[in-house]
Amino acid sequence: MAKIKVGVAGYGTIGQRLADGVAMQDDMELVGIADLAPTLSLQALRERDMIGANGVKYDLYLVDGADEAAFAEKKIPVAGSFADLCQKVDIMLDSAPGGVGAANKANYYEKYGVKAIFQGGEKNSVADVFFHGYANYEKGVDQDYLKLTSCNTTGLIRSVDALDREFGIEKVAITIIRRVADPGDYHRGLTNALQMDKAPSHQAVDLMTIMPHVEATGILVHTPVTHGHIITVLATAKDGKKITKEEALKVFQKHPRIRVVSIDEGFKGNASLFKYARDLGNRRGDMYEIGLWEDSVVESGNDIMYAINIPQESVTIPETIDAIRAAMGMQKTREEGTAATNKNLGIGKFKEI
């Protein structure tokens, strides 16, 4: 069977990782990436002779308005225009800055009959389906345009969906302790302050869009760190049913994209997970799984409370690959789609030890 041809628009923090993720799939071909300016990320790619993950060559296409001379000055080879790329692919992963995706859809994807997966920065209206690989895979099957949930919502839903499938969840209240910048960011930052957002947080609202039978609300606080958000979740089961710590942990432990960790074994906080991923030798020091602290799980009456870690740079990659599988009809079910993604990304192997 022919490999699905995939392009990536925008080679920023997310786009690089999407390209890497596609390059690791045995049933997909990364046709190329597209960007506007010779960023440090592209200079780094060029220093490696345009070879990215898995030994794959990343061909670069330029979007409208790109300054070709600037790329030439940095000796970064160019393979063509964004229109060229669109004509070579079956589906585009759009990780352009917020708002640009909608314009790309109008100007390119519809014109060239290319399907597209948008990231969380776009409005929901850009897509047919607001998508999560585990929570509503089937809704995305054979659709043209899907939009992914944002990083926090993606990780949050993994855990809530897992509980929901086992116990039936009717209500969640979350506190998001948000990292305020990525490593290498200077344009945004916070110094010695915790900053409030107005409640409810959009992540709670987004969760309700994906899981409409759950009532969700929450408060978000920005913190001056870079290595992963932490979310505390209080989940209430339907009909006053009690969820015990042991039952909840069993559910979390069998989820391939949840890594149950503990303070005692050394995972003292979000920076431990970042360090662990580097020590694993993962490309860019990334981790696809969310962390869930075993020692954070407590019962609150009949409710269950726990804390998860969201590796914001990489957490949405698996669900985006799931989205390709759904939109292209490569696998028709959640079980098959997520399993194929997990196998190719090496997710869940550690569970078997």
For residues 91-150, which are near its own copies according to CB under 8 A? Answer: none
By C-alpha distance, which of 178, 175, 181, 183 is closest to 195? Answer: 178
Does the footprint of its own copies cover residue 208 (CB under 8 A)? no
CA 108 to each of CA 81, 91, 111, 140: distance values in angstroms, whole numbers, following the listed order: 12, 12, 5, 21
Which residues are paired to 219 by β-bridges? 175
Footprint of its own copies on 316-335 (CB under 8 A): none
Does the footprint of its own copies cover residue 67 (CB under 8 A)? no
**Position among 50, 208, 249, 305 found at the interface with its own copies (CB under 8 A):** 305
**Position among 141, 297, 328, 340 found at the interface with its own copies (CB under 8 A):** 297
151 in catalytic set? yes
Burial class (CB in 10 A: 0-12, 13-18, 19+), 339: middle
**Helix or strand run (H / E) with residue 77:** none
Nearer to its own copies, 106 or 298 (CB): 298
| Location of structure tokens 């290595």 | 227
**Position among 215, 247, 332, 343 found at the interface with its own copies (CB under 8 A):** 215
Instruction: Name the 3-class secondary structure at 273.
Output: helix
- For the bound state, the minimum distance from the C-beta of residue 346 to its own copies, rounded and expressed in Å, comes to 10
| Location of structure tokens 């726990």 | 306
Nearer to its own copies, 309 or 331 (CB): 309
Nearer to its own copies, 307 or 339 (CB): 307
Does the footprint of its own copies cover residue 52 (CB under 8 A)? yes
**Position among 101, 120, 140, 285 found at the interface with its own copies (CB under 8 A):** 285
203 in Cβ contact with 152 (< 8 Å):
yes
**Position among 103, 263, 329, 335 found at the interface with its own copies (CB under 8 A):** 263
